[in-house]
Structure 1
Amino acid sequence: MNRKLIALDLDGTTLNDVQQITSETHSVLNKLRDQGHIVSIATGRPFRNSHYYYKQLEMTTPIVNFNGAWCHNPSDKDWDYGYHKSLSRDLAISMLSLKDDPEVQLIAAESRDGIYVHGDYVPYPDFFPDGVKVSKQLSSETLLIDPTSVGVFTNTQQNQSKIEERIIKHYGEAVEVRTWGGFAPCLEIVAAGVQKAMGVERIASYYNIDRKDILAFGDEENDYEMIQYAGHGVVMKNGNDKLKVVADDLTGKTNHDNGLADYLTNYFNL
Structure 2
Amino acid sequence: MEKKLIAIDLDGTTLNNNSELTQETIKTLHAVKNLGHEVAIVTGRPYRNSKQYYDQLNLGGPIANFNGALCHIPGMPEWDGKYHITLDSEFVLDLVAFNKTLPVDYLMVEGTELVYSDMEELPECPYYPKDQKPIVIDKNTKLKEQPTAVALFSDIEKQPEIKSKILDRYDNDIEIRTWGGSFPCLEVISPGIHKAKALEHLSRYYGIKQENILAFGDEDNDMEMIEYAGHGVAMKNGIDELKNIANAITPFTNDENGLAKYLQDYFQIQDVRNRA
User: TM-score, structure 2 length as denominator?
Assistant: 0.91
Is 1:99–1:107's contact at 8 Å kept on the other side of the alignment? no
Q: Any stretches of 5+ residues in structure 2 without a counterpart?
A: 270-276
Aligned to 2:254: 255
1:39-97 deviations in Å (ceiling 9; x for gaps): 11001111111111100000311111111111111132111122111111121112222
SS at match of 2:105: strand
Taking the aligned partners of 1:170 and 1:243, their CA distance within structure 2 comes to 29
1:142 CA displacement: 3.9
What residue identity is the alignment partner of 1:19? S
Aligned to 2:67: 67
1:165-209 deviations in Å (ceiling 9; x for gaps): 222121110001111201121211100111111111111222111
Aligned to 2:78: 78
What percent identity do the matched residue pairs reach? 44
Taking the aligned partners of 2:13 and 2:224, their CA distance within structure 1 comes to 16
Aligned to 1:245: 244
Taking the aligned partners of 2:241 and 2:122, their CA distance within structure 1 comes to 29
Aligned to 1:98: 99
1:124-153 deviations in Å (ceiling 9; x for gaps): 225214x133x2112232424431110112
What residue identity is the alignment partner of 2:27? S
Aligned to 1:182: 181
Aligned to 2:273: none
1:268 CA displacement: 1.3
- 1:18-167 alignment, distance < 5 Å: 18-96=18-96, 97-99=98-100, 101-102=102-103, 104-119=104-119, 120-122=121-123, 124-129=125-130, 131-133=131-133, 135-139=134-138, 140-155=140-155, 157-167=156-166
Q: How many residues align?
A: 266
SS at match of 1:116: strand
Is 1:61–1:75's contact at 8 Å kept on the other side of the alignment? no
Taking the aligned partners of 2:54 and 2:195, their CA distance within structure 1 comes to 17
Q: In terms of Rg, which structure is larger? A: 2
Change beyond 3 A, Cα 1:100–1:18: farther
1:84-113 deviations in Å (ceiling 9; x for gaps): 1111112111222224544x2321111121
SS at match of 1:86: coil
Taking the aligned partners of 2:250 and 2:159, their CA distance within structure 1 comes to 27
- 1:258-269 alignment, distance < 5 Å: 258-269=257-268
Is 2:93–2:141's contact at 8 Å kept on the other side of the alignment? no
RMSD in angstroms over aligned alpha carbons?
1.6
Aligned to 1:235: 234
What residue identity is the alignment partner of 1:6? I
1:232 CA displacement: 0.4
SS at match of 1:245: helix
Aligned to 1:203: 202
1:258 CA displacement: 1.1
Is 1:60–1:75's contact at 8 Å kept on the other side of the alignment? no
Q: Any stretches of 5+ residues in structure 1 without a counterpart?
A: none
